[in-house]
Chains A and B, each alone.
Chain A
Amino acid sequence: MATEHQSETLLKVDAISLSFGGVHALVDVSFDIQKGEIFSIIGPNGAGKSSMLNVINGVYQPTQGTITYKGEVRQGMRPHEAAVQGIARTFQNVALFKGMNTIDNLMTGRNLKMKSNLLMQGFYWGPAQNEEIVHRQAVENIIDFLEIQSIRKTPVGRLPYGLQKRVELGRALAAEPTLLLLDEPMAGMNLEEKENTCRFILDVNEELGTTIVLIEHDMSVVMDISDRVIVLDYGRKISEGAPDTVRNDQKVIDAYLGVAH
């Protein structure tokens, strides 16, 4: 848990709605994310959690409402623009380059920071050479941080699932994000892998000062590591606050246990 909070708002989501034809994925959702916190979005299946992340990093354009990021109102942002502005993410289903090894996958995360052109990179010539060394060093730091030294040169497609997830987290970190969006980073992991991942998330938050938005189904994880939690149900925000408040909210209990709508 981050110990100190500058109460500076990094991202403000204001009355966002998102519809696909007649399906209302998100309805009038508002919340703030403070700089340096771990912010979790939870809710039953189909509640709109991943849609919310997709709105934040520009994959979907909201039908209504505004998003203010770093004090500026965003309009019609594309995913790559979000990346330039320091928003990185991981995916619910691992989305790595399976045929490439761990180092190369992490290097792709540095892509935005590279200045030399394709030709120079291709021939490892001129400024590209120094640039490559600088970025490789950054990647090595991440490898050390995530303790994946033994799989540097292994094609990621051959790695077990838990490690692939870790490499994906590494790739997101390689972009040195201000805001890191994690979509179910612990899905399908065993207990030990979950504990490791928790430790990495906390370390990223504490040592690198990265703000983290987390979607996760494992309630004990969410309640343990989050500073604040919001709960979505059928696209609406039904609760918000510190983990303990949310846990005891009757509306949340109803949403999870099911009541007639």
Chain B
Amino acid sequence: MADSSESRAQTFPQLLRQRLQHDAERPAMREKAYGIWQTWTLAQLCEEAFALAAGLSDLGFVRNDTLVIIGDNRPPLYGAMIAAQSLGGVPVPAYQDSVAQEIEYVVDHAEARFIVAENQEQVDKALEIREQCPRVERIIYCDPKGLRNYDPQVVIDIATLMARGREVLKTDPERVNSEIEKGAPSDTAIILYTSGTTGRPKGVVLSHENLLVTARNINAFDRITADEEVLAYLPMAWVGDNTFSFAMGLVAGFCVNCPESASTVAQDLREIGPTFYFAPPRIFESVLTSVIIRMKDAGRLKRWLFEHFMAVAKKTGVALMDGRPVAFWDRLHYGLGELLVYGPLKNTLGFSRVRVAYTAGEAIGPEIFEFYRSLGINLKQLYGQTEATVFITMQPDGVVRSESVGTPPPGVEVRIEDNGEVVYRGPGVFQEYFKNPEATAETKTQDNWVHTGDAGYFDDEGHLRIIDRAKDVGKMNDNSMFAPKFLENKLKFFPEIKEVVTFGDQRDFVTAFINIDLDAVGNWAERNNVTYASYQELAAHPKVYALVQECIEQVNQSLAQDSHLSSSQIRRFLILHKELDPDDGELTRTRKVRRRIINERYGDLIDALFDGREHCFVSTEVMFEDGRQGRIEADLEICDAAVSPERTRAAA
């Protein structure tokens, strides 16, 4: 168990050495291999990490060296992070699905001499960029499959390196310990490259102190203990995983579980039954979509049960969780629902034991948010960014709203600038952007206030509400506000719609590009006898257009209720012939829309939306997964949507 003596630890390796004295046999990590969950106790994890550190040191890894880590969440990779930190070095995790050029930028910018790559796929990327990054000396791999004929001078097995490290430790047992002792709280703990909606990624430098203090504060805020179970399935290069799985895990002493592979996450989730869970809204969305699809295919009785009890949950579930008074009969009714529907459903989804769940990164649809909360899952929102070590605001238990993102946690101050931009200050504030003082100066003021670039305001309850990126909030020609992301999120709440891009800044009216969700619309097509051979064909189907039009008209109706937004109603739209894709640069790796690139690529389509054409020919270059280029062509139809009249305040 964590105790107060640990609060004196100043770096993660120091913390681990203290915890080893009384927690050595506690499970620290688990990973499913060969169908069975394998456990690393804290002692094993540290032994491997320190052996690896000794091995790295023998290869010439010294203080302030960077270690680029590419791969899925796996205990040896977390071990590699500890190993680098033990030597006073800096782990730099990279997104595992990045293409070679993206990795090249990170490796080159971080000046890495060593790369830890999970498997052949990642080793191949690392080898591909060696010419551009001559600094790289060694590539260390975890999974030897397919790597037999690679040059052993360059590519080395992590197990071999650990064995070499153990030999070193035999002759020089203090090799790693002495380096750990030298660590200071202001040392860099990690550099995280932000995906960045604009320009090149920036390396956010976080110190041990940033991570340790933040982890302690948040663990206290949500009463996170050593008994939690967590599934680490989000990219290691993302600050969330680093904070939730690594920092908070090591500080609280709970066990972090790694899924078997990216495709088994849903099963692994069910087997582990995490108590503390984090997911971006799109995952909650896709889980809900799959539940709804399965229920639509279910028998009549099951469908009736589901619909009936979901209505009950909607009425009483949230009130129960917030501790508001609920009539005895409703309580009983909800209890029956728990027995028949909610319990089994949560069990299937792996949410039975969830005590605290968070979502962040994007706005979550109120219906989706309410769905999970009404089931009795304590889903909350937080607002954060890499530069803040995640947390800027978060929702305390009992005061959870879908439209706001809560209040600042202990130690964090937030205020709103005159132009509406949210700025904050706190213990998690990043040190700098690596090798980029101009960007640091632009973002962080002398007295440590950080500009988020988001526009927002505090509502009557004192909770922060985020509207949009400050620079994205535009003006329409009639001078009313145009908040593209707000509109897009409203549309994305429909399961049929996967991605939306809206246009309206300095225009007379608002238009939209739509991406349909192949799962949801495909299932709908099956049930409605719509045949199709490809995504493109389905997207162009007149019935699909009608379906999307219905969604848009619903949104228009709700926009008409709000006098600020009624002129943002969507008048014209088209359904894109291809999915927007990070490989084509249209989305970031975390699936945020890159507006500038979309404006460039689809300029003609945007003009067509506004000049009244009824269809428009488009030809797009696409990049396949293996790096080859291709071309997709289509003649897209452009459709009008009905606009609701602005409701004059009926009460007046």
Q: Give A contacts to B, CB under 8 Å.
A: 3, 137, 140-141, 143-145, 147, 149-150, 152, 192, 195, 199, 203, 206-207
Which of A149, A152, A199 has most B Cβ within 10 Å?
Answer: A149
Q: Which of B34, B148, B149, B625 contacts A144 (CB 8 A)?
A: B34
- The verdict on B146 contacting chain A, using a C-beta distance below 8 Å, is yes
- The verdict on B527 contacting chain A, using a C-beta distance below 8 Å, is no
Asked whether A137 lies within 8 Å of B34 as measured between CB atoms, the reply is yes
Asked whether A150 lies within 8 Å of B34 as measured between CB atoms, the reply is no
Asked whether B263 lies within 8 Å of A149 as measured between CB atoms, the reply is yes
28 contacts between A and B (CB under 8 A): A137-B34, A140-B34, A140-B35, A141-B34, A143-B35, A144-B33, A144-B34, A145-B145, A147-B261, A149-B35, A149-B260, A149-B261, A149-B263, A150-B260, A150-B261, A150-B263, A150-B264, A150-B267, A152-B35, A192-B625, A192-B626, A195-B626, A199-B146, A203-B146, A206-B148, A207-B145, A207-B146, A207-B148
Chain B hits for A147, CB < 8 A: 261
* The 5 A-B residue pairs with the shortest CB-CB distance in the complex, in nearest-first order: A150-B263, A140-B34, A150-B264, A149-B260, A149-B261
For window 229-264 of B, CB contacts with A under 8 Å fall at 260-261, 263-264
New A-B contacts (10) at CB < 8 Å, excluding given A140-B35, A150-B267? A137-B34, A141-B34, A144-B34, A149-B260, A149-B261, A149-B264, A150-B260, A150-B264, A203-B146, A206-B149
Chain B hits for A149, CB < 8 A: 35, 260-261, 263-264
Chain B hits for A207, CB < 8 A: 145-146, 148
Chain B hits for A150, CB < 8 A: 260-261, 263-264, 267
Chain A hits for B34, CB < 8 A: 137, 140-141, 143-144
Chain A hits for B263, CB < 8 A: 149-150
Chain B hits for A145, CB < 8 A: 145
Q: Mark B609-630, 1 if CB is under 8 A from A, else 0.
A: 0000000000000000110000
The minimal Cβ–Cβ distance linking B535 to chain A, given in whole angstroms, is: 14
Closest chain B residue, CB of each to CB of A144: B34
Chain A hits for B260, CB < 8 A: 149-150
Chain B hits for A192, CB < 8 A: 625-626
Closest chain B residue, CB of each to CB of A1: B149
The minimal Cβ–Cβ distance linking A20 to chain B, given in whole angstroms, is: 39
A10–B145 CA distance with the chains assembled, in angstroms: 26
Total cross-chain contacts (CB, 8 A): 33
Closest chain A residue, CB of each to CB of B146: A203
A141–B145 CA distance with the chains assembled, in angstroms: 12
Q: Give B contacts to A, CB under 8 Å.
A: 33-35, 145-146, 148-149, 260-261, 263-264, 267, 625-626
Which of B35, B148, B626 has most A Cβ within 10 Å?
Answer: B35
A152–B260 CA distance with the chains assembled, in angstroms: 12
Chain B hits for A3, CB < 8 A: 149
Closest chain B residue, CB of each to CB of A136: B35
Closest chain A residue, CB of each to CB of B32: A149
Chain B hits for A152, CB < 8 A: 35
Chain A hits for B145, CB < 8 A: 145, 203, 207
Chain A hits for B33, CB < 8 A: 144
Chain A hits for B267, CB < 8 A: 150
Chain A hits for B264, CB < 8 A: 149-150
A143–B145 CA distance with the chains assembled, in angstroms: 13
Closest chain A residue, CB of each to CB of B261: A149
A144–B261 CA distance with the chains assembled, in angstroms: 10
Which of B33, B34, B148, B260 has most A Cβ within 10 Å?
Answer: B34
A103–B149 CA distance with the chains assembled, in angstroms: 31
The minimal Cβ–Cβ distance linking A52 to chain B, given in whole angstroms, is: 30
A180–B148 CA distance with the chains assembled, in angstroms: 21
Chain B hits for A143, CB < 8 A: 34-35
Chain A hits for B149, CB < 8 A: 3, 206
The minimal Cβ–Cβ distance linking B71 to chain A, given in whole angstroms, is: 15
The minimal Cβ–Cβ distance linking A218 to chain B, given in whole angstroms, is: 16
Chain A hits for B146, CB < 8 A: 199, 203, 207
The minimal Cβ–Cβ distance linking A194 to chain B, given in whole angstroms, is: 11
Chain B hits for A141, CB < 8 A: 34
Closest chain B residue, CB of each to CB of A152: B35
Chain A hits for B35, CB < 8 A: 140, 143, 149, 152
A147–B260 CA distance with the chains assembled, in angstroms: 10
A149–B31 CA distance with the chains assembled, in angstroms: 13
The minimal Cβ–Cβ distance linking A144 to chain B, given in whole angstroms, is: 6
The minimal Cβ–Cβ distance linking B386 to chain A, given in whole angstroms, is: 30
Chain B hits for A195, CB < 8 A: 626
A199–B261 CA distance with the chains assembled, in angstroms: 19
The minimal Cβ–Cβ distance linking A25 to chain B, given in whole angstroms, is: 37
A147–B72 CA distance with the chains assembled, in angstroms: 14
Chain B hits for A140, CB < 8 A: 34-35
Closest chain A residue, CB of each to CB of B628: A191
The minimal Cβ–Cβ distance linking B418 to chain A, given in whole angstroms, is: 52
A192–B149 CA distance with the chains assembled, in angstroms: 23
The minimal Cβ–Cβ distance linking B495 to chain A, given in whole angstroms, is: 23
A209–B430 CA distance with the chains assembled, in angstroms: 52
Closest chain A residue, CB of each to CB of B260: A149
Closest chain A residue, CB of each to CB of B625: A192
Chain B hits for A203, CB < 8 A: 145-146
The minimal Cβ–Cβ distance linking A147 to chain B, given in whole angstroms, is: 7
Chain A hits for B626, CB < 8 A: 192, 195
Closest chain A residue, CB of each to CB of B34: A140
Closest chain B residue, CB of each to CB of A150: B263
A143–B36 CA distance with the chains assembled, in angstroms: 13
Chain B hits for A144, CB < 8 A: 33-34
Closest chain A residue, CB of each to CB of B36: A140
The minimal Cβ–Cβ distance linking A193 to chain B, given in whole angstroms, is: 12
The minimal Cβ–Cβ distance linking A152 to chain B, given in whole angstroms, is: 7
